[in-house]
Amino acid sequence: MKMIISGGGTGGHIYPALAIAREVLRREPDSQILYIGTKKGLESDLVPKENIPFEAVEITGFKRSLSFENVKTIWRFIKATKRAKKLIADFKPDVVVGTGGYVCGPVVYAASSLKVPTLIHEQNVIPGLTNKFLSRYTNRIAVSFSGSAEYFPKGKTVVTGNPRATEVVRADGEKGLRSLQIPSGKKVVLIVGGSRGARAINEAVSEMIPLIGNHQEYHFIYVTGEVHYQGVQDQIQKLASFPGKKQV
């Protein structure tokens, strides 16, 4: 089978896409997969590490407020659709799958216009703008939650859950603890604001760090997001009163 997968911007769209790719390759090792994303999204870094061929299109998301930038976005969408059509024509996929994020808009739309079978997957209860738009053109819609079905056409929507969840269930917890040098049996608290981090959460946690140090019975793992990492790390290093293990 030949498949094109598109989804990007944040890990919430990328990791389910990669989970789909891995499962397809597990079931059909001879399958060929092409991932289409953007150069600026996390996918440009994550996908090549999976040894999956990667191509980029230039596209930005629409602003919800009235803005001249949306005119530019329409022009970028037209250009991205044209490039996506060429990539699809060259690769000749059996199916094109979109997992959300503005990049999959022109890709799935291009596939639909070329009569290539398409499927989109929605990870959230309330779908994003891109998947709402694509729902009119795609052949099938997979959702993670039954509550999402009301936002999409009934005849082509199916509840599948999140592809990433299967990988999480299969994960080896003890192996994860060892990789982070966390003693077995230790209570673990994970603080995370998404793949790119969240400023508000980082600010709140930074204020809590001195208090966290008083709870040695817990092991805290703090995921800041790449953009915020150095600033948070510098702030933690300045807190000489923080006796706990500094793992960020």
Residue range(s) in the chain whose domain bears CATH number 3.40.50.2000: 2-168
What architecture (CATH level 2) is domain 2-168? 3-Layer(aba) Sandwich (3.40)
159: left (phi over 0), alpha (psi -120 to 50) or beta: beta
User: Backbone phi, then psi, for 231, in 5-degree steps?
Assistant: -65, -45
DSSP character string of 148-183: GGGGS-GGGEEE---HHHHHHHH--HHHHHHHTTPP
Cα separation of 207 and 182, whole Å? 24
pLDDT, tens digit, 9 for 90 and up, residues 9-34: 888 899 999 999 999 999 999 999 99
**What is the pLDDT at residue 175?**
84
Beta-strand relationship, 32-37 and 187-192: unpaired
Min mean pLDDT across 29-33, 78-82, 206-210 is at 206-210
Question: Please, what is the average pLDDT of the chain?
Answer: 87
Higher per-residue confidence, 239 vs 216: 216
**What is the pLDDT at residue 201?**
81
**What is the pLDDT at residue 225?**
74
**Mean pLDDT, rounded, for 138-164:** 94
Min mean pLDDT across 11-20, 57-66, 140-149 is at 57-66
Say yes or no to pLDDT of 63 above 70: no
Q: Which of 196, 99, 182 is nearest to 142 (CA)?
A: 99
The model carries a pTM of 0.78
For residue 117, give every residue at least 6 positions away whose Cβ sits within 8 Å of its Cβ, in sequence order, or none: 94, 95, 96, 111, 139
The model's confidence at residue 148, banded by pLDDT at 50, 70 and 90, is very high
Beta-carbon neighbour count of residue 96 at 10 Å? 30
Cα separation of 99 and 12, whole Å? 9
For residue 135, give every residue at least 6 positions away whose Cβ sits within 8 Å of its Cβ, in sequence order, or none: 120, 127, 141, 151, 152, 153
**What is the pLDDT at residue 239?**
60
**What is the pLDDT at residue 118?**
99
Higher per-residue confidence, 141 vs 203: 141
Structure tokens belonging to residue 3: 């498949």
Cα separation of 100 and 132, whole Å? 10
